Amino acid sequence: MQRVVVTGMGVVAPNGIGVKEFWTSLVNGVSKVRQIKSFDVSEYSTKIAGEVDNFDPCVYMDPKKARRMSRFAQFALAAATMAKEDAKLEINEENNRRIGVIIGTSINGMKTVEEQEVRLLRGGPKAVSPFSVPTAIPHGAVGNLCVEFNIKGRSITISTGCSSSLNAIGHAFECIKLGVCDAMFTGGTEAPITPLIMGGFCSASVLSKRNGDPEKASRPFDKSRDGYIIGEGSGILVLESFEHAVKRHARIYAEIKGYANTTDAFSMFAVEPSGSEAVECFSSACKQAGICQEDVDYVNAHGSSSRVSDERETMVIKKSLGMHSKKVMVSSIKSMIGHPLGAAGSLQTIASINAINDSLIPPTINYEERDRGCDLDYVPNETRKENVNVAVVNSLGMGGNNAVLVLKSYNN
């Protein structure tokens, strides 16, 4: 079995484009939740989100190609371009069949679908773009990346709701571990801030309504949380076998040691109350990584700011780590960027890798009052200087899909 390491990272997020800007904003505890600018929200119960500002796709791709991509695919190609440059990975005809792409997304090209629906209603079928289907499909991000980089190895799109990108990273990890590929571009991308998607979430009454104070709306684990905030963006990583990375003298950021995925098999809508399968997932990932409870220094939590989910995740961490759960540091970056759905796990992973390398734990901001059901150390409001050797990333998806990834500081 191959060891698997991270050698490149790229980010498009509400709080910054590029890993440095993203990470600096997180450690400074800056919220980038604002009133939605991309469409009229006057009739929406929630009018705020974590939007990516000042994103120009033409910085990263040909304008003609950009016009034939939906926003989620543009985000992915931009983040992948940064990750490729960061990893200094050369792709050519000699190695492109040993390189693959696995990306997670849940909403994918809904923006394109909505725009083309308007054209259909106004001008009939002939008004619909011939590029609408390949632009909107979930595989649009992976497909465009493979074409742009001339990658001919394994290419897969994963869609499991909010756990999509962590499952994508986990599957890429397994591909390299088993020797299927030498390197993988992996992570997630999402652009769900559209009239239809926001309308659906508002109708479900799951979003915060703190429209007058958007920066404080996302407040994971806090007693007064009233729902989550939708975000958008992309996080892409380059994973390689340790042997491949060393051979080409690549910089190694961290090592992936374990991954697990389980399903509650309970409901597509309701949360399974016992958390048994989420605990199984957490424990299985740690077992695969060869670590015990006391080895875990930091948990980058799903922490969506949902009243039910945050309390249940707290219970899962306590059951998984036992008495050590009182000592482990837990935080949620969604307090600053909102919940980017299928892209969440990839951005959490990149944040965790930076936590390992900089010995800094990003805070859970807007934490003001303790909730009796949420009684762990959530690193409230201020970044903490602590060494991190092992970090666990937790992600929960649609229909009770649980994903956990274990990261470890790199040492030869």
397: enclosing H helix or E strand: strand 390-397
302 in catalytic set: yes
Catalytic residue among 139, 171, 244, 339: 339
Rg from Cα positions in the chain: 20
Q: Is the dihedral of CA 296, 383, 313, 267 positive or negative?
A: negative
**Token reading at 78:** 């931009």
The span from the CA of 184 to the CA of 187, in Å, is 10
Q: Are strands 329-331 and 34-35 parallel, antiparallel or unpaired?
A: unpaired
Catalytic residue among 146, 162, 181, 286: 162
Return phi, psi of residue 249, to 5°: 60, 40
Q: Strand, helix or coil at 408?
A: strand
Catalytic residue among 139, 171, 244, 302: 302
281 in catalytic set: no
The span from the CA of 264 to the CA of 284, in Å, is 15
The span from the CA of 150 to the CA of 92, in Å, is 8
Question: Helix, strand, coil proportions of the chain in percent (round to 5)?
Answer: 40, 25, 40
Q: Strand, helix or coil at 246?
A: helix
Residue 157 carries which side chain, given as an amino acid letter?
A: T
171 in catalytic set: no
N residues, the chain: 412
Q: Which residues are catalytic?
A: 162, 302, 339
